[in-house]
Structure 1
Amino acid sequence: MMKNRVMKGSLVTLLSLMTSQAFAAQEVTVYTAFETDLLAKYKTAFERANPDVSIKWVRDSTGIMTAKLLAEKNNPRAEVVWGLAGSSMALLKEEGVLIPYTPAGVEDLRPTLNDPLANPAWFGNEAVFNAICFNEAVAKQRNLPTPTSWDDLTNPIYRGHIAMPNPASSGTGYMQVSAWLNTFGEAQGWQYMAELDKNMAHYTHSGSKPCVQAAMGEVAIGISMAVRGAKLKTKARHWRSSPRKASAGNRKRSAW
Structure 2
Amino acid sequence: MKNKCSFLASLALSAAAMPALAGEITVYTALEEDEVAAYLERAATDMPDVTVNVLRLSTGDLGARLIAEAGNPQADVIWGFALTNMLNPGIYDQLGPYAAKGAEALNEQFRDKEGRWFAPTGYVGAFCVNTERLAQLGAPVPTSWADLKNPAYKGEVVMPDPSSSGTGYLQIAAILQGAGDEAGWQLIQDMDPNMAQYTTSGSRPCRMAQAGEFAIGASLSYVAMQGIDEGYPIQMVIPSDYAGFELEANGLMKSSANPDDAKLFLDWTLSTGAVEAYAARKDLVTIPGVPRSPQAEKAGLPEDLAAVLFPMNFAASGEARDAIITKWREAVGR
CA RMSD of aligned residues (A): 2.3
Provide the C-alpha distance between the structure 2 equivalents of 1:217 and 1:83, rounded to a whole number of angstroms. Answer: 30
With CA pairs under 8 Å and 6+ residues apart, which has the higher RCO, 1 or 2?
2
Equivalent position amino acid for 1:56 in 2:
N
Provide the C-alpha distance between the structure 1 equivalents of 2:226 and 2:147, rounded to a whole number of angstroms. Answer: 25
Match of 1:32 in 2: 29
Q: 1:200, CA displacement in angstroms?
A: 0.4
Provide the C-alpha distance between the structure 1 equivalents of 2:245 and 2:153, rounded to a whole number of angstroms. Answer: 28
**Contact between 1:159 and 1:199, CA under 8 Å: does it hold in 2?**
yes
**Contact between 1:22 and 1:28, CA under 8 Å: does it hold in 2?**
yes
Provide the C-alpha distance between the structure 2 equivalents of 1:84 and 1:211, rounded to a whole number of angstroms. Answer: 20
TM-score by length of 1: 0.84
**Contact between 1:113 and 1:127, CA under 8 Å: does it hold in 2?**
no
Cα gap change, 1:92 to 1:101, in 2 (>3 Å)? farther
Equivalent position amino acid for 1:155 in 2:
N
Identity across the alignment (%) = 39
Provide the C-alpha distance between the structure 2 equivalents of 1:19 and 1:220, rounded to a whole number of angstroms. Answer: 41
**Contact between 1:208 and 1:225, CA under 8 Å: does it hold in 2?**
yes
Match of 1:7 in 2: none
1:59 equivalenced with 2:61 (yes/no)? no
Equivalent position amino acid for 2:242 in 1:
S
Q: 1:227, CA displacement in angstroms?
A: 1.0
Matches within 5 A, 1:57-96: 57-92=54-89, 96=93
Cα gap change, 1:31 to 1:250, in 2 (>3 Å)? same
**Matching residue within 242, 245, 257 for 1:247:** 242
**Matching residue within 75, 98, 102 for 1:105:** 102
- In structure 1, the gaps of 5 or more residues are 1-17
Equivalent position amino acid for 1:81 in 2:
I
Equivalent position amino acid for 2:63 in 1:
T
**Contact between 1:113 and 1:251, CA under 8 Å: does it hold in 2?**
no
Provide the C-alpha distance between the structure 2 equivalents of 1:144 and 1:250, rounded to a whole number of angstroms. Answer: 27
- In structure 2, the gaps of 5 or more residues are 1-15, 248-308, 312-334
**Matching residue within 153, 156, 181 for 2:151:** 156
**Matching residue within 204, 208, 213 for 2:208:** 213
Q: 1:182, CA displacement in angstroms?
A: 1.3
The alignment of Structure 1 onto Structure 2 pairs a total of residues equal to 235
